[in-house]
Structure 1
């Protein structure tokens, strides 16, 4: 009995590694078949008259049968146990869900991208319209500035004419006084002449005088009368000239009044057009801002969606990679089982100490504002360009959810038309309309210092004008698309803005 069992144990030792690998890891061979094989191998058959050679032949046939089963398993996959099949179906379901999510998200991404394109095109169209409206507004604001300057010049000329008329009136009054005095003197002379003609020459002698005195006095009085008449004539001519100049000056004043009235009507018309264009620009700006905010939100949504899709791609790729690795391990296990079966067939009756390889993978690699020049001496003594409420200060964040910009100067709210004065002496280097700044005036103070005055209603100084500190250079307005009147004021050194508050006189 012992001699018959020992060869069977040897054969079993050769088959155990293959059976364990096959049944434990992938379970390709049915458990009943494996138990049957073990039972047939361990339990001896009833005693017969078979010889040891026959028994040996049976063992070889059994090993060949087992090898054939392994080979058949490699070519035709057998049914897996229920638990493994359920797990595989679950993993396949997860991968399917991930791919469905990926497909839905991709469609959503395409929809967002299409909406982004549509909004971008709409923004571009509205931007073109706003550019046109802004250009029209620029023309209106420049025209209003020119009209205001003309009105100011007309006012100055009218004031000069009024002063001239006042001077002429005073001069006419003085000349009239001289004429009156001369006429009175002529009357006195005429009276003296009359009295002298009635006096006899010898009367003077009787009174102890010279008889020739009467004749001499008559001659003197006659000469004086002639000169006074000439004086009166000159004064009367002067009066006529003064009156002629006065009438001409009065006519000039009337013409100036007429031109001023027409210019004021034109300015009011321009102001009305400017108001309409400001509303159009403001409406377009609001629409563009709203669409830009929508665009930025969609960009954020699209970025989040892209991240989510990329994450799904990585998960799907990881699942597919894991599936390939599992398949590779399964095939490797089957190959090892088949190899073990072939070894068992070769060893047949020999004792084999077969050990499965560890199968360990290689470890993973790990990767690891100065003050210079004359202008600098004015620090703390600059003139505030206009009086009003400071609505925004240097460095303060600008309003608007989509804006990340900050103020680079002072925004001073002030009444429309209030005077704007130069903060310091200098030369005007820019006096024109500029997008975003409206009627803009820039003064160069030397030593690389500039002062900037924006959103003006009227620019009174032109390029090249020398200005004194405190001299009026413009008037407060809302040009450049501002919704309220005010002045935007900057100080710059070498082109870079710096906080002006520390430079202004308290």
Structure 2
């Protein structure tokens, strides 16, 4: 029977329809929560505990404030909102880049799968065509045909080969089509994430523009009041007291956590030691029991040998010797001691707030004189210089354009990232060994409390928040709560 193109196509479609029925369902394209949404919700939940602790510290500081009204306070909410919006936009840009890269990888994988499937379909069609050309005879009909046995055997082998090849191809095709389905799901998920990101970007940009306009209006209204307050020495002293109070409370919280962690480690070590001692004792008791059993058996064997020797000596010559009864070996009664149940070493859940330094104690001091500047700009105020009629500078002010990148001078962990009167958007990093670096007057804080940072990593962008006249960065270094000159430590 001649093989026609229409007959082969119909047969191929029928076979594929039967083999792959149910492979795709409309449920796979149903609306669902993206992986990004779930991860984001989990991260926000984790940060809630950290923020709770720091809010308590802020409330404690506020209760001790002698000055309750400050023009900069009016700007606080707007400046903090601008910082949050800018940080969110930066995070969204990074997420968008990662998602686009993932989409490109998925598209490449999808194209490769499509090529593989096309090749497999072509090969399957070829096999089916050969099967059709062979007459499409079934095995029973072939066996009963009465034809030449050699030809029947050859045709059966050919049919078996074609059937096996078809089965392997169909299994492989099913697997590849399932991968295509999974690939499409991932692509759809990534596209939904991009849509979420785009919507969030639009929302954040609208919020940013709104808050910038609000801050500009407030600055225009409060400009005179801010100028007068900047000239008041008492205000500067209160700012310094506020900073010292914050640093002291953070240091106390870090010490408490370090002590709690030290006690936890000691308790875990004690439990591990007790468990090891219990295991060693149980092993020693088992070995002692084994030795006692071996000694008892050796003693019984020696006694039996001695009895046999005596019987042989006393036996008359030529007399038939009866075999000695084998004495019943009485093994010592050994009471099995219950083995101590080894409890798994308890691992305490992570503390609600993780503010312990992410660097060893001596790491920061070892970097003295070798740390890079936190920002590119000109130093306009140095540690120890007079601030008009007010107190001396406890840090360094570096003039820089708005939005310039602020970088961590060394690795550590962020312990504070929030707005503070007199310092605007403020970020503090703990470097271990009771060393802190402080970065104030930022436009945007790019890190949150609990984040670990590397040396040179961007943590903020410069600004003039907190009522500062010039755009730039206020930078401090502190050890055990006291500010010291960063000039000998940082290469400005």
TM-score normalised per structure 2: 0.53
Secondary structure, aligned partner of 1:180: helix
Matched, 1:428 2:414: yes
Distance (Å, rounded) in 2 between the aligned partners of 1:224 and 1:291: 90
Within 5 Å, give how 1:77-116 maps onto structure 2. Answer: none
Counterpart contact for 1:130–1:281, Cα < 8 Å = no
Q: Which residue of 2 aligns with 1:225?
A: 166
Per-residue deviation, 1:287: 4.5
Alpha-carbon spacing, 1:193–1:441, altered in 2? closer, same or farther (3 Å): same
Alpha-carbon spacing, 1:481–1:154, altered in 2? closer, same or farther (3 Å): same
Counterpart contact for 1:439–1:459, Cα < 8 Å = yes
Distance (Å, rounded) in 2 between the aligned partners of 1:182 and 1:273: 63
Per-residue deviation, 1:267: 0.8
Pick aligned residue for 2:364 from 367, 370, 375:
375
Distance (Å, rounded) in 1 between the aligned partners of 2:113 and 2:427: 50
Q: Which residue of 2 aligns with 1:104?
A: none
Q: Which residue of 2 aligns with 1:472?
A: 458
Counterpart contact for 1:130–1:285, Cα < 8 Å = no
Distance (Å, rounded) in 2 between the aligned partners of 1:279 and 1:130: 22
Counterpart contact for 1:281–1:481, Cα < 8 Å = no
Secondary structure, aligned partner of 2:364: helix
Q: Which residue of 2 aligns with 1:498?
A: 484
Per-residue deviation, 1:266: 0.5
Counterpart contact for 2:441–2:473, Cα < 8 Å = yes
Q: Indicate the larger mover: 406-415 or 447-456.
A: 406-415
Within 5 Å, give how 1:12-51 maps onto structure 2. Answer: none
Within 5 Å, give how 1:48-59 maps onto structure 2. Answer: none
Matched, 1:215 2:156: yes
Per-residue Cα deviation, 1:436-467 (whole angstroms, up to 9, x for no partner) = 11011122223332211101122233333333
Counterpart contact for 2:442–2:462, Cα < 8 Å = yes
Q: Which residue of 2 aligns with 1:486?
A: 472
Distance (Å, rounded) in 1 between the aligned partners of 2:439 and 2:404: 13
Q: Indicate the larger mover: 129-138 or 158-167.
A: 129-138
Secondary structure, aligned partner of 2:402: coil
Q: Which residue of 1 aligns with 2:83?
A: 145
Counterpart contact for 2:71–2:226, Cα < 8 Å = no
Matched, 1:407 2:396: no
Counterpart contact for 1:133–1:280, Cα < 8 Å = no
Higher helix proportion, which one? Answer: 1
Secondary structure, aligned partner of 1:489: strand
Distance (Å, rounded) in 2 between the aligned partners of 1:384 and 1:395: 19
Secondary structure, aligned partner of 1:482: coil
Secondary structure, aligned partner of 1:377: helix
Larger Rg: 1
Pick aligned residue for 2:113 from 163, 171, 175:
175
Per-residue deviation, 1:262: 1.4
Pick aligned residue for 2:131 from 193, 196, 210:
193
Q: Which residue of 1 aligns with 2:384?
A: 395
Alpha-carbon spacing, 1:461–1:165, altered in 2? closer, same or farther (3 Å): same
Matched, 1:440 2:426: yes
Distance (Å, rounded) in 2 between the aligned partners of 1:250 and 1:463: 31
Matched, 1:158 2:96: yes
Distance (Å, rounded) in 2 between the aligned partners of 1:443 and 1:272: 31
Alpha-carbon spacing, 1:429–1:258, altered in 2? closer, same or farther (3 Å): closer
Q: Which residue of 2 aligns with 1:63?
A: none
TM-score normalised per structure 1: 0.52
Per-residue deviation, 1:210: 6.4
Unaligned ranges ≥5, structure 1: 1-127, 202-208, 293-371
Distance (Å, rounded) in 2 between the aligned partners of 1:424 and 1:245: 39
Per-residue deviation, 1:211: 5.3
Q: Count residues in correspondence.
A: 293
Q: Indicate the larger mover: 405-414 or 176-185.
A: 405-414
Q: Which residue of 1 aligns with 2:200?
A: 259
Distance (Å, rounded) in 2 between the aligned partners of 1:130 and 1:282: 19
Distance (Å, rounded) in 2 between the aligned partners of 1:449 and 1:223: 72
How large is the Cα RMSD of the aligned pairs? 3.4
Pick aligned residue for 2:217 from 271, 276, 283:
276
Alpha-carbon spacing, 1:464–1:255, altered in 2? closer, same or farther (3 Å): closer
